[in-house]
Structure formats: structure tokens, C-alpha cells
């Protein structure tokens, strides 16, 4: 039996791990868990496709002979099932499978494999876009600000363009989702370089973002109108799923994302514990992107020189731009140095980690070697018992589950 005024907190992290903590109730300022994942994604998806938001059914939006391109965000949970269901509807409407092209979009440009692996008819093309190839892009149009937009020729040549993706908080866009699947990742190297380091450290997701306005204008220029969008659930998977018109779906899911994943606190906490989910089939670097997102949430919520405790089952070696931390005496030196070395490198995740390391002491529970963790300026935790001992002090503690999906703020 627990002592009086003590509660057992279950913190899920990694693929299937759970840390049990017995803590005094008055010591814990909050335990945020996020929305539960859907029990039956397939049934929810079929319902969404049968009753799309402010748009006709997909089967009524195409005609036989159309060339259809389905652009998918490679980070989307249950992506093979979502893509297969869309392709099935298209084939049912009379679209030849060889007239369907699937184009994955990801900032890592990693091979996402066969994203529609569960579809029965796999004659469709699965094209990996190469932003470094001049032949891969064509001129679409100029934006209202005069920016010339080049996109994948497969997307520009299509009769119908459909997006499948994840609506979530994003440091560059405020919210990613719908039209952000097209740009800049399906453009050229110059477009990608323009947004490097364009994150806004202290802006909230609802603040004005010029890049978000640009991607929505590009979606309008393309004429894309139908989308399938998911919002992540706690512990992995999907908590909400909609299909239909691009603008109304995005509007509804932005509101849902904010209601479900935005964490507002009256003041900063001395210690913030963030749990990070793992996902099977990650592209290289995605695990570190989730870690960076979770650490950034903690930075926004922890006191200066406080403690950030990160719970992961991370075993993947860091990408080169994060591994570069080991070359420097202070983490704050790495970003400017790497920009000088390679203007094209994506330093978004590195910058978020550096900001947190400069703000607080960051402890990391992972499957990585302690020497590597220390080289990256984290304080290694090798076992859950070390976490329990660390949290046995009298510091106020805030717990954030599935923190990579959240946005944290301290109210004025």
C-alpha cells in the first residue's frame, strides 16, 4: 500500500515500456498524457471516406483515365493502410492502377518503401523525389510575393492530386499538414535551403507564419482539393482521422490538435519529465527528431537551470548534424559552425537540442552508450532505477507523455 498522499504514476515510453513512479501528490504539478489512440483505424478511415468533410466522395471526384498522384507524408502513422484505402477507392471509381502514382514526402528524403504495401493491386508507381535532380522538377508558378515555385514533375503533370499526412505542431509552419506535404520537400535544393534555420523559437503555433501561407498558396496553385489527415495519439497510432476538402479538414484538425496536445502551465517547473514514443519502421533520423521535439517541449516548461528528464528506448546513432555536438566544447557553438561548413544542412533538430542544453540540465534514458550520451552534452541514465533516484528529491515535477506531439507554454 502506498503512503498517504502518494500516487503511482505510470509513464509509458519507447515501444512498450512503462516507468512506475511513486511520488507525493503535492510534488507533481501535472501529468499530461494526450488523447487516446483509435481502437479501429480501418473502420474510422472507411467512415471518413464515406462521409468526407465539405467535399464529394473520392469516387465521385475522379473520372476513368485520370492520372492521379497521391502525395504522402512519410511520418504518418498507419500510412500503408491509409494509402491502400485511398487507392482502393480510386480503382473502384475506374482509375487504372497504372495511372496512380504515390510520391512520399519527407525532410529526410529517406526511402519509405512501399507505403501501400497492403493494397491488393500494386501496379501503381511509387516514386521517390530527388530534389537534387534538375529533371525531377518543373516550374509551377510564381507566388503572390514573386517566389518562383518548382515542384515534382509527377505532381504538376497529374490530373488529380491527393494528400495524405499528419496534422501536427511544427516549428517552421506552426502546424504541418495538408499542403505542407508538397513544399519544400517536393521542390528543389534551393527551396529546401531557403527554409533551413527558419524556425521561430518563441512563436506559438497560431502565430503568423509566412511559410505556412506559401504552402497553402502552392496547394491552391496546384488545384489540390482532397486530403486524408491524421492526428497522433498517445503511445503511438492515430487519435483522430478526417478526409475531405483540404481547407475544412485542416481547420478542424488544427483545432483538435490544439485542444488535445497543447499544454498550458501557470508557471515553470523545477523538473520536467518527457516521455518519447517509438515507432516501428522509422526512416533514419526520425527517432532523433522525436527526441528533439520532446526536449523542446520541456525547455518551454522548465525553470532556468532546472532538470529535463527524457525517457526513451533510443538505440539509433545520431545523424551527422547532431553527432557534431561531440566536436565542440560547448553545445551553443555547434549551430553557427555547421552553418558555415554546409549551408544546406538541416539544423532544426540540432538547434532545438542546443537550446535545451543551454537552458537546463538534460538527462537521457536510452539504450545508447554512456560515453556517446555524455559527448552530446546529455547526462546519461542507464536504468529506470536511476530515474527514480533522480526524482526522489523534493523538486516540483511536471510529467508529459508522448511529448514529441505536444506544445508547451507558460501562461503570462
Segments in the chain below pLDDT 50: 109-113, 116, 118-121, 281
> Is the same domain home to 302 and 366?
yes
3-state DSSP assignment of residue 181: helix
> Is the same domain home to 254 and 135?
yes
Could you count the other beta carbons within 10 Å of the beta carbon of residue 92? 10
CB 164 within 8 A of CB 228: yes
Is residue 1 a part of any domain in this protein?
no
Distance, CA of 245 to CA of 243 (rounded, Å): 7
Would you state the pLDDT for residue 154?
Answer: 95
- The per-residue b/e assignment along 361-383, b for 16 or more CB within 10 angstroms, e otherwise, is bbbbbbebeeeebeebbbbbbee
229-247: per-residue pLDDT in tens?
A: 999 999 889 999 999 999 9
Domain boundary residue among 208, 243, 259? 259
Domain boundary residue among 259, 285, 311? 259
> Is the same domain home to 234 and 292?
no
Is residue 302 a part of any domain in this protein?
yes
> Is the same domain home to 234 and 361?
no
Would you state the pLDDT for residue 119?
Answer: 45
> Is the same domain home to 114 and 20?
no
> Is the same domain home to 68 and 115?
yes
What's 380's domain CATH number? 3.90.226.30
Helices (H), 195-234: 210-222
DSSP string, 324-376: GGGGSSSGGGHHHHHHHH-TTS--HHHHHHHHHHHHSEEEEESSS-HHHHHHT
CB 295 within 8 A of CB 356: yes
What's 86's domain CATH number? 3.40.50.11440
How distant, in Å, are the alpha carbons of 26, 371, 384 from that of 23? Answer: 9, 30, 15
> Is the same domain home to 253 and 281?
no
Would you state the pLDDT for residue 289?
Answer: 92
Domain boundary residue among 240, 259, 278? 259
353-396: per-residue pLDDT in tens?
A: 999 999 999 999 999 999 999 999 999 999 999 999 999 988 89
Tell me which residue of 285, 329, 287, 334 sits closest to 310, measured CA to CA: 287
> Is the same domain home to 195 and 278?
no
Tell me which residue of 216, 221, 131, 133 sits closest to 181, measured CA to CA: 216
Instruction: Kindly report whether the global pTM for this prediction surpasses the value 0.85.
Output: yes
> Is the same domain home to 285 and 143?
no
Q: What are phi and psi of 163, to 5 degrees?
A: -110, 140
Domain of 336 in residue numbering reads as 6-32+266-410
Calculated CA dihedral for residues 112, 141, 210, 289, nearest 10 degrees: 10
> Is the same domain home to 174 and 309?
no
> Is the same domain home to 328 and 352?
yes
Number of independent structural domains in the chain: 2
Amino acid at each position: 500500500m502506498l503512503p498517504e498522499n502518494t500516487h503511482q504514476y505510470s509513464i509509458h515510453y519507447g515501444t512498450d515500456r512503462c516507468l512506475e513512479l511513486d511520488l507525493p501528490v503535492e510534488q507533481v504539478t501535472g501529468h499530461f498524457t494526450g488523447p487516446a489512440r483509435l481502437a479501429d483505424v480501418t473502420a474510422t478511415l472507411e467512415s471518413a471516406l464515406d462521409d468526407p468533410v465539405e467535399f464529394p466522395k473520392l469516387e465521385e471526384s475522379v473520372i476513368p483515365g485520370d492520372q492521379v498522384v497521391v502525395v504522402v507524408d512519410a511520418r504518418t502513422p498507419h500510412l500503408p493502410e491509409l494509402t491502400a484505402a485511398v487507392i482502393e477507392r480510386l480503382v473502384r471509381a475506374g482509375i487504372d492502377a497504372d495511372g496512380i502514382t504515390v510520391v512520399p514526402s519527407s525532410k529526410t528524403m529517406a526511402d519509405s518503401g512501399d507505403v501501400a504495401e497492403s493494397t491488393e493491386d500494386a501496379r501503381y508507381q511509387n516514386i521517390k523525389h530527388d530534389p537534387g535532380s534538375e529533371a525531377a522538377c518543373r516550374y509551377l508558378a510564381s507566388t503572390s510575393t514573386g517566389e518562383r515555385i518548382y515542384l515534382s514533375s509527377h505532381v504538376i503533370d497529374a490530373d488529380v492530386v491527393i494528400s495524405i499526412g499528419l496534422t501536427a505542431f511544427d516549428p517552421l509552419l506552426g502546424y504541418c499538414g495538408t499542403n505542407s506535404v508538397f513544399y519544400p520537400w517536393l521542390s528543389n535544393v534551393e527551396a529546401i535551403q531557403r527554409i533551413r534555420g527558419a524556425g521561430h523559437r518563441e512563436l506559438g503555433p497560431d502565430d503568423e507564419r509566412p511559410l505556412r501561407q506559401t504552402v497553402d498558396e502552392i496547394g491552391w496553385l496546384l488545384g489540390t482539393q482532397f486530403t486524408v489527415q491524421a492526428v497522433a495519439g498517445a503511445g503511438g497510432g492515430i487519435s483522430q482521422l478526417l478526409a475531405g476538402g483540404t481547407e475544412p479538414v485542416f481547420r478542424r484538425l488544427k483545432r483538435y490538435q490544439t485542444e488535445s496536445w497543447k499544454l498550458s502551465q501557470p508557471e515553470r517547473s523545477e523538473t520536467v519529465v518527457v516521455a518519447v514514443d517509438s515507432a516501428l519502421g522509422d526512416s533514419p533520423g526520425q527517432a532523433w527528431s522525436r527526441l528533439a521535439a520532446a526536449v523542446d517541449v520541456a525547455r518551454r516548461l522548465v525553470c532556468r537551470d532546472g532538470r529535463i528528464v527524457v525517457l526513451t528506448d533510443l538505440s539509433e546513432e545520431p545523424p551527422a548534424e547532431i553527432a557534431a555536438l561531440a566536436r565542440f566544447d560547448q553545445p551553443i557553438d555547434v549551430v553557427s559552425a555547421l552553418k558555415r561548413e554546409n549551408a544546406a544542412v538541416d539544423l532544426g533538430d540540432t538547434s532545438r537540442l542546443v537550446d535545451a542544453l543551454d537552458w537546463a540540465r538534460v538527462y537521457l534514458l536510452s539504450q545508447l552508450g554512456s560515453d556517446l550520451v555524455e559527448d552530446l552534452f546529455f547526462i546519461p541514465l542507464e536504468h529506470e532505477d536511476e530515474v527514480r533516484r533522480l526524482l526522489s528529491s523534493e523538486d516540483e515535477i511536471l510529467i508529459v507523455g508522448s511529448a514529441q506531439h505536444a506544445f508547451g507554454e507558460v501562461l503570462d
